Structure 1
Amino acid sequence: MEFRLLGPVELLAAAGPVELGTPRERHVVGVLAAEAGRLVPVATLIERVWGPEAPAGARATLRVYLSHIRKVIDKANSDSDHPATLVRRAGGYLLDIDADQVDLHRFRRLVAHGRDPGRTDGERATSLRQALDLPKGEPLADLSGGWAERIRLAWSREYLDAALAWARAVLSAGDGGSAVGLLAELADQHPLNESLAAALMRALHAAGRSSEALQHHADVRGRLKEELGTDPGAELQATHQQILRGRPATPPARPQPSGAGVVPAQLPADLPSFAARGHALDQLDNLVPQAADPPGGTAILITAIDGTAGVGKTALAVHWAHRVAARFPDGQLYVNLRGFDPSGQVMDPATAMRGFLEALEVPQRRIPTDPDAQAALYRSLLGGRRMLVVLDNARDSAQVRPLLPGAPGCLAVVTSRNQLTSLIAGTGAHPVTLDLLTHDEARTLLTRRLGADRIAAEPDAVAEIITRCARLPLALTLVAAHAAIRPRTVLRTLADQLRDTQHRWQALTGDDSTTDVRSVFSWSNQALSPDAARLFRLLGLHPGPDVREAAVASLAAVPLAQAQALLTELLRANLVTEHRAGRYTLHDLLRAYATELADSTDPDDERRAATHRMLDHYLYSAHAGDRLLYPERDPITLPPLQPGVAPEHPAGEQQVRDWFVTEHAVLLAVLDRAATTGFDIHVWQLAWTLRLFLDRRGHWPDWIATGRAAAAAAGRLGDPVAEVWAHRELARPYLLLSRLDTAEEHLSRALEVATQAGDQVGQANAESSIGHLWQRRGDTAKAIEHVRRAHELYRATGHPRGQARALNNIGWLHSQVGDHRAALAACEQALTLNQNINDPDGEGATWDSLGFIHHHLGDHAQAITCYEQALTVVRELGDRYYEADVLTHLAATQHDAGNRAAAIDAYRQALVILDDLDHPEADAVRAKLQDAGSA
């Protein structure tokens, strides 16, 4: 029995093809076969088959499909030596089948074998050729939808990488000429791929066709220069020189990874006092291929490190990762998944995925909103690379799976307090269970922290400390830290304190089940000054991944200098970590302890007051930054500032932008905390301060999440102004994502609330956005109707900025239906208003509209002048996407005016920006540039 995905979805039994049923039933089979041997949750099946807008009855329909598919498979099993089974398990379905019975997985296995450095060139070439011969067409050729398209996109890159590996193998085996046909075909499909061009040149040279190789280089060089404005890279140039000199053209020692140029190095610092974990390190070392230099590796390697809290899983993973980092030359990715965070806020895999994609320098605008699409892009980026991925502190297997690499050559290290049985069973991950330290390892740890002389002076006390700490690394580290900051204290005193149950929550013994590191935290807390102990408790109330000194000062209501001194005390006691200059974080266990301690020590009103100060700090700081960047926005009135809060005030625009980038994750966590603690005013106003940052940086999923929270909070408050704003702003990302029905729901609600409240500005804002909605739907008449209504309301309320924006929109809409005279009149009024109120955003947009209008009136010279004015404004604003947009319009005008050179120059400038942003419109501009160049 064989499932075929590399072409139309098919099931082949011994007697021949098996009829699978309807297109959707084939789609279900395709999803299950693509995940052969892995549980596919029902929700995932529905999303991949029906897409994000699945009908209400999709779950029931899916059950019918699966019942039929099970019968089809069972019937096909009757004459098969290798049967398959459709298994129903909690939450999903699994196709239990040998992965080799699915051509997609067989392709990947053959490619992995073809990259095995232990095999001969001929053997590797044979395996890779077998893989390349498997496809019967593009994958899932009879399926449509986002999931199928993502599979096709990722696989096309895998195929190309495999073809390049095969070409290297046959060249090394002395038969490079045999690769010419396939490489030439692929080069036609990927004309700007330099690695492919170099491979084809080497194959042509090996076949005695050196002149053709040199001509191909000239063609590619000209195409790169013409379309991208760049010269060939190092590999292509080196191949060219080898052929010119009549030498054998050899591939580079290791191929440049696709998307080369970024080598992330996210590992935390190694611990100099790491205690020897010989057996565990040996287990991990055995996972790395002995010959690590050749590309691709031999397998997707995964190891799952588990063990009790505080046993040193992270320390081991990070220490070992540093040891082998050089064997993964394409970089290291690291994330703390916060699987056991006391707040219960386990990190969403999609959040971790976005962090990885950002580390791989994927621009925010290009990161998909769909988690499956993010995972597909991530796996594609890791294809052909040798990377080390450390997934620390995982909650369960489900949290980890989307973050695992999808192609050979990478190694994933996962740590968790839980034994990840499902991960081990489903992926073949190698389990490493970390036990307590041996007595000698524990003594080594203390020696490295406290010095050999001090340890040798009190052997009995040291032995008791090790026993009372249960040989738990975290407990030993804390004891050593306490001893280090009290150098005159004899170790016998510390041993006696550990023995005294009145000063511990629970006695520490060598038995795992009775070990409680909170007793060590309690003892460490007692050694702090009263102010430092209070600060430690308050830090448990902070929800973000880290916290900067200024926010700590507001949280504790102390001056900044005092906050810095107290943080230093906590740092010395190993109760906080300064992972970046001026930014502090707590280990999960420390955070849990601090939270519990605050709950049991500090009255409710004091904890609520501290939370209030923290929220005020971030709200006022973000608001000040937003006002500096965007002073033209309609202002909001903040709640009174709590005593003891000192908001931050970055000095300039770039400092503000850097602040928002650095505090992005913290602000999202703080907004969530405001929502769960009843600070609804802070919820919607924090969303207000974040709105333009999230928009311009392309953080659309966060924009939607904060918008939803703001709308809910405004509804609870019964504040119509806040509710109108929240629903209108929540509609904007849905408009950008073309989810027009959802956008309409929120805009209708905004208009309804504004009308009921008599809020004419709110009505005008909603009407303006509804006009945008109808424009996106292609109904320009309705769009004009709503925007005109918005303009009348803005005028009635004396709102010049709104009037200007509405007039520009009216003009733009008229120009889209060819009424350029009416458009010109409206946009000229808009320009005057924007200049009078000094609104550069509005002015830049209006100059752009005027350029379009004059272009279509046939006045090319005036259109060019308008576009140049728009460029001046948008460049001062630093809006690079808008700059590319204006340049594209300018290029079209120059082209129609007969200024071919100027048009090409403007298109090239636009293309450089869009390529830098990795924006989807780059291909359209590239095509226009090519047309302009060939005209």
Structure 2
Amino acid sequence: MAPQNAEATVGSLLRRYRLAAGLSQQELATGAAVSVRTIRDIEHERVDTPRAPSLRRLAEALGLAAPDRERLLAAVPGPRAEAAADRHLRAEVLGPLSVRTGGSAVDLGPAPQRDLLALLAIQPGRVVSRDEIVDVLWGDQPPKTCLSMVQTYVGRLRVRLDPDREPRSPGKVIRLAGDGYTLDLAADELDLARFSDLAERGTAEPYSAAAVDLLDRALRCWRGPVLAGASPRLRSHPAAVAAARQRVRVALAYADLAADLGLHAAAVARLQELAPDEPLHEGVAAKLMVALAGSGERAAALSLFTEVSRRLADDLGVEPSAELRDTHLRILRQEQVVRPAAPRPRQLPAAVPGFTGRTSHLERLDALLPVARSPQGTAVMITAIDGTAGVGKTALAVHWAHRVADRFPDGQLYVNLRGFDPAGPVPPDEAVRGFLDALHVPAQRMPVGLDAQAALYRSLLAGRRMLVVLDNARDADQVRPLLPGSPGCLVIVTSRDQLAGLVAAEGAHPVPLDLLGPAEAGNLLAGRLGADRIAAEPAAVAAIVEACARLPLALVIVAARAATCPGISLARLAEELREARGGLDAFSGTDPATDVRAVFSWSYRALSEATARLFRLLGLHPGADLTASAAASLAGMPVRQVRPLLAELVRARLLAEQAPGRFAFHDLLRAYAAELSAETDPDAERQAAPHRLLDHYLHTAYAADAQLNPHRDQITRTPARPSVTIEEVGDQGQALAWFGAEHATLLAIVECAASDGYDTHTWQMAWAMTTYLDRQGHWHDWLGVQDLALRAARRLGNRSDEADAHRGVARAYARVGRFVDAHVHYWRALDLFGEIGDRLGEANTHRNLAFMCGTQGHRRDALYHARKALDLYRAGGHRVGEANALNNVGWYHAQNGEFREALEYCAKALALLQEIDHRPGVAATLDSIGYAHHHLGNQCAAVGSFQRALEMFRAAGDRSHEAGTLTRLGDAHHAAGKLEQARNAWRQALVLLEELDLPEADEVRGKLAGLVG
């Protein structure tokens, strides 16, 4: 094994080398486990890159002995190595017998001669007696000259197996030994030997991705049954039977490991290769059913059970085994557990610059590390940092988390729970979903309900060493669903509450955080203002520290004021603080934050009148941050006039520009601004400002949605009020960027609109967010927004809006797999649309029903609804709908295996879509046409259609459809025998699918794995 301290040094180098070698994603994922065995494995892979000088440094860093260093260097062939490879002998028995030298097949002569070599090859290194050879070649009736014939066959084989072979002479490939012969081949020259080696190492490897990788590579050595096509006596030989049984054992072990790591599609690929060779093996069938169900092919899994049950009854007259029946029952109940491969999130926010002090607290936290990192512990380790607002809880937690992040190799999770935010705390289910997103749980696999989501979260963290930071918690109840359930994880919780319940029930270690000591407070100021300036006015520094109550937040604000006004003495700043003493009512009494109001009011009173007004109104914004355009709408001013005001607030440290163009409050400052607004601003202003803000987000969302879905049927918009700034969204890229940046804010805006009685804004905001939330896979958010929209539409009493809201809720339910609920809302929408005579609404609903039925595998139902939509669109003269429905009908014909009919409908769709310049529809139809051509065997036409669709999806920034088309393009290339083009297309598709966190990534991994070897 490589020295432990060398692994980090060589990890990235080995990864680059493996990438150059064209190894699989799974092989790349195990690159950290560097060993001599790994190097020996790599040398057997075909590499077409030039030798890299850095490989010698890699060998030296690994501490390899001289022979192993040379072996590594030889792994990347230079001209001499390639010449040697051309003479390399490779024999294969795991499938039809095959022998090749230099890439060319060797003619092994007549059948008995081939069988003799095969008999030796399935028993490598063993002496096979002449009697055994005679028995296998001729059975009970050997010819009289059988022994001389055996000698003749051996001599001919020696010549055919390369007479110039070095360093051994031809006579040593098949050696005479005792009363028989033995085949002398190295492990890399015989597929059976390589399989056995990989299988042995994979089963001995501890449970890990490395074990899956080794077993996967072992199974890829097989091309079919042992010695397929050879004589029955040879195929029934004990050595051949033993190899076949070992293959089954390895496949079953691989299936179990792959399922636990979420590699279901890869398991499907391996097991489907084996299943035809083991048609009555119930264990293989059971594992394949599990893999199919895990890949989302539940119907195929159930169909396989029916097929195997029939085969057992017909061929053996027996019922399925208990294992097979139990697997069938669990799939019916949807109890199969899908565990995605574990990502390593890195969610910690940036460390606080200039952090100082808190030495004793850091030492106390450090003392918890040995306990937290022990996998033998009985519970997760929890640290609860509590203290008043602005005391530096977050700064301490984040600073320490960065210090120890490397101790938790499985990653770090972070969430600001906004426990004391005026807009309300983050609900536990929202926080859990955020963590599940970070752990790469696809949206369609996200369970519904807090309990189920928390259970999945705990399962994903089981056995892992993860650091979890829960910042600004309101109470223990908000925290409990976010706690891991197994040892090895450490949770840091910060809160203004002491979290006594968490300490009592969950054994949290309390770390109370008080004010800074005088020396620490002085060091904080010195770190921001310079030691010389602090030393020049020690009395003023002491007065500032006292006026700020040694509260870090207050000290930072004062330091910012002093830094931006270097001409003002610290004594003058201290005097201003004394004059402005007061206190926030929310933090009155013994709370040391009483004096924070003095700091805030001092900074506030220094603002210009316009900036002070903006500061107050910003307290009415419900989101975590906002842009200059949103601030301008809130204030009812042009953006050009607001930008200087925002800059003034940032300079005063009353606002933070956390990202370019995005501004955020500290929650205490937000409370202060809202308090000032309630005291100062007239009621009319406090009502008009939120209305303008809603108009800003609603109309900008309209504009962004129009870029994402330009042919969508529009709704009647609520006019924007005067002085509302609508952001410019020039193209699809800008639209996606805007929605992505405003995602959380838009959700908060819709909730506020619903709770404050802005019902029209509520359902129209939901309408405008639909395309983005759907395409990006934020289906649980979509469901929540659509539920608010439905309630708002009902309150408004508008049946058309209610019908559309029912359809929106149904679409979201379908996306999260709640098909029964989706059906209820779809049919309610159809009833309402029918009652009011809205044929377009009916058509849209039937088209959505077609999509859902297709997703469920009900292809005939899907075709029915697609045809119904087509008829309604045509009757209403809706050309865009008609064109898209024509493609839908064609697609579902193709899904039903009716490819000629599919091409007929898609051709009509394409002509109409091109006429109306509906580019997304054209791209989708070209994809459908390519799919039909592919299944008709017209691969050239399929590739052309897919490539045209691909160009259009890329131009539109539609990454989800781009990934699907790339996958099908790879299928067409593969069918045409163009394996390298197929590999390139599938690799590109996999990158996109992994970035989008879509489950289809497993299927593509399986396709790629099937190409390797």
User: Is TM > 0.5 for Structure 1 vs Structure 2?
Assistant: yes
Q: Deviations over 1:234-293 (max 9, x none)?
A: xxxxxxxxxxxxxxxxxxxxxxxx979866263334142x4522332322232234999x
Match of 1:317 in 2: 397
Match of 1:534 in 2: 613
Q: In 2, distance between residues paired with 1:514 and 1:911?
A: 53
3-state SS of paired residue (1:316): helix
Q: In 1, distance between residues paired with 2:469 and 2:858?
A: 51
Q: In 1, distance between residues paired with 2:877 and 2:217?
A: 67
Q: Would you say 1:284 and 2:365 are equivalent positions?
A: yes
Q: Would you say 1:419 and 2:437 are equivalent positions?
A: no
From the superposition, tell whether residues 648 and 735 of structure 1 become closer, same or farther in structure 2 (CA, over 3 Å).
Answer: same
Q: In 2, distance between residues paired with 1:606 and 1:647?
A: 20
8 A Cα contact 2:466 2:488, kept in partner? yes
Match of 2:813 in 1: 734
8 A Cα contact 2:711 2:918, kept in partner? yes
Match of 2:661 in 1: 582
From the superposition, tell whether residues 422 and 886 of structure 1 become closer, same or farther in structure 2 (CA, over 3 Å).
Answer: same
3-state SS of paired residue (2:369): coil
From the superposition, tell whether residues 187 and 849 of structure 1 become closer, same or farther in structure 2 (CA, over 3 Å).
Answer: farther
Q: Would you say 1:335 and 2:415 are equivalent positions?
A: yes
Match of 1:27 in 2: none
Match of 1:185 in 2: 203
Q: In 1, distance between residues paired with 2:493 and 2:857?
A: 49
Q: In 1, distance between residues paired with 2:797 and 2:213?
A: 61
Q: In 2, distance between residues paired with 1:282 and 1:930?
A: 49
Q: In 1, distance between residues paired with 2:1012 and 2:403?
A: 52
Task: Give 1:267's match in structure 2, choosing from 327, 349, 358.
Answer: 349
Q: How does 1:592-741 map to 2 (within 5 A)?
A: 592-741=671-820
Q: How does 1:39-50 map to 2 (within 5 A)?
A: none
8 A Cα contact 1:727 1:750, kept in partner? yes
Q: Unmatched 5+ residue regions in structure 2?
A: 5-29, 39-196, 219-245, 268-339
Q: In 2, distance between residues paired with 1:588 and 1:678?
A: 25
Q: In 2, distance between residues paired with 1:339 and 1:508?
A: 16
From the superposition, tell whether residues 193 and 605 of structure 1 become closer, same or farther in structure 2 (CA, over 3 Å).
Answer: farther
- Please say which of residues 504-513 and 628-637 is displaced more in the overlay: 504-513
Q: In 2, distance between residues paired with 1:756 and 1:697?
A: 33
Q: Unmatched 5+ residue regions in structure 1?
A: 1-116, 118-159, 169-178, 201-211, 229-257
Match of 2:926 in 1: 847
Match of 2:430 in 1: 351
Q: CA RMSD in A?
A: 4.6
Q: Deviations over 1:444-482 (max 9, x none)?
A: 444445555665666556545544443333344444445
Q: Look up the equivalent residue of 2:802 and give its one-letter code.
A: E
Q: In 1, distance between residues paired with 2:671 and 2:557?
A: 16
Q: In 2, distance between residues paired with 1:483 and 1:447?
A: 11
Q: How does 1:142-181 map to 2 (within 5 A)?
A: none
Q: How does 1:393-404 map to 2 (within 5 A)?
A: 393-404=472-483
From the superposition, tell whether residues 774 and 915 of structure 1 become closer, same or farther in structure 2 (CA, over 3 Å).
Answer: closer
3-state SS of paired residue (1:415): strand
Q: Look up the equivalent residue of 2:360 and give its one-letter code.
A: H
Q: In 2, distance between residues paired with 1:671 and 1:299?
A: 40
Match of 2:830 in 1: 751
Q: In 1, distance between residues paired with 2:346 and 2:604?
A: 37
Q: In 1, distance between residues paired with 2:388 and 2:586?
A: 17
Q: In 2, distance between residues paired with 1:484 and 1:889?
A: 60
From the superposition, tell whether residues 716 and 454 of structure 1 become closer, same or farther in structure 2 (CA, over 3 Å).
Answer: same
3-state SS of paired residue (2:657): strand
1:327 shift after superposition: 4.9
3-state SS of paired residue (1:392): strand
- Please say which of residues 562-571 and 649-658 is displaced more in the overlay: 649-658
From the superposition, tell whether residues 332 and 775 of structure 1 become closer, same or farther in structure 2 (CA, over 3 Å).
Answer: closer
From the superposition, tell whether residues 637 and 383 of structure 1 become closer, same or farther in structure 2 (CA, over 3 Å).
Answer: same
Q: Look up the equivalent residue of 1:264 and give its one-letter code.
A: R
Q: In 2, distance between residues paired with 1:711 and 1:392?
A: 34
From the superposition, tell whether residues 614 and 871 of structure 1 become closer, same or farther in structure 2 (CA, over 3 Å).
Answer: same
8 A Cα contact 2:842 2:872, kept in partner? yes
1:196 shift after superposition: 6.8
1:902 shift after superposition: 6.7
8 A Cα contact 1:471 1:510, kept in partner? no
Q: In 2, distance between residues paired with 1:336 and 1:855?
A: 50
Match of 1:562 in 2: 641
Match of 1:148 in 2: none
Q: In 2, distance between residues paired with 1:790 and 1:276?
A: 68
Q: Look up the equivalent residue of 2:877 and give its one-letter code.
A: G
Q: In 2, distance between residues paired with 1:490 and 1:190?
A: 63
8 A Cα contact 1:384 1:407, kept in partner? yes
8 A Cα contact 1:506 1:519, kept in partner? no
8 A Cα contact 2:344 2:412, kept in partner? no
From the superposition, tell whether residues 193 and 663 of structure 1 become closer, same or farther in structure 2 (CA, over 3 Å).
Answer: farther
Q: Look up the equivalent residue of 1:281 and give its one-letter code.
A: L
Match of 2:165 in 1: none
Q: Deviations over 1:523-563 (max 9, x none)?
A: 33222211111111111111111112232222222333432
1:847 shift after superposition: 3.0
Task: Give 2:873's match in structure 1, choosing from 777, 794, 812.
Answer: 794
Q: In 2, distance between residues paired with 1:505 and 1:454?
A: 31
Q: Look up the equivalent residue of 2:348 and give its one-letter code.
A: Q
8 A Cα contact 1:366 1:919, kept in partner? no
3-state SS of paired residue (1:267): coil
From the superposition, tell whether residues 320 and 820 of structure 1 become closer, same or farther in structure 2 (CA, over 3 Å).
Answer: closer
What is the aligned residue count? 712
From the superposition, tell whether residues 267 and 329 of structure 1 become closer, same or farther in structure 2 (CA, over 3 Å).
Answer: farther
Q: In 2, distance between residues paired with 1:402 and 1:865?
A: 51
1:398 shift after superposition: 2.8
Q: In 2, distance between residues paired with 1:884 and 1:739?
A: 25
8 A Cα contact 2:371 2:377, kept in partner? no
Say which one has the larger Rg: 2
8 A Cα contact 1:470 1:509, kept in partner? no
Q: Look up the equivalent residue of 2:415 and give its one-letter code.
A: V
Q: Look up the equivalent residue of 1:278 and give its one-letter code.
A: T
8 A Cα contact 2:348 2:398, kept in partner? no
TM-score by length of 1: 0.66
Q: In 1, distance between residues paired with 2:529 and 2:938?
A: 81
1:312 shift after superposition: 2.2
1:704 shift after superposition: 0.8
3-state SS of paired residue (1:305): strand
3-state SS of paired residue (2:494): strand
8 A Cα contact 1:264 1:330, kept in partner? no
From the superposition, tell whether residues 524 and 900 of structure 1 become closer, same or farther in structure 2 (CA, over 3 Å).
Answer: closer
Q: Look up the equivalent residue of 1:343 and give its one-letter code.
A: A
Q: Deviations over 1:22-78 (max 9, x none)?
A: xxxxxxxxxxxxxxxxxxxxxxxxxxxxxxxxxxxxxxxxxxxxxxxxxxxxxxxxx
3-state SS of paired residue (1:528): coil
3-state SS of paired residue (1:544): coil
8 A Cα contact 2:391 2:552, kept in partner? yes
1:801 shift after superposition: 1.2
8 A Cα contact 1:296 1:384, kept in partner? no
Q: How does 1:748-827 map to 2 (within 5 A)?
A: 748-775=827-854, 783-817=862-896, 822-827=901-906
Q: Would you say 1:472 and 2:490 are equivalent positions?
A: no
From the superposition, tell whether residues 502 and 793 of structure 1 become closer, same or farther in structure 2 (CA, over 3 Å).
Answer: same
1:191 shift after superposition: 7.9
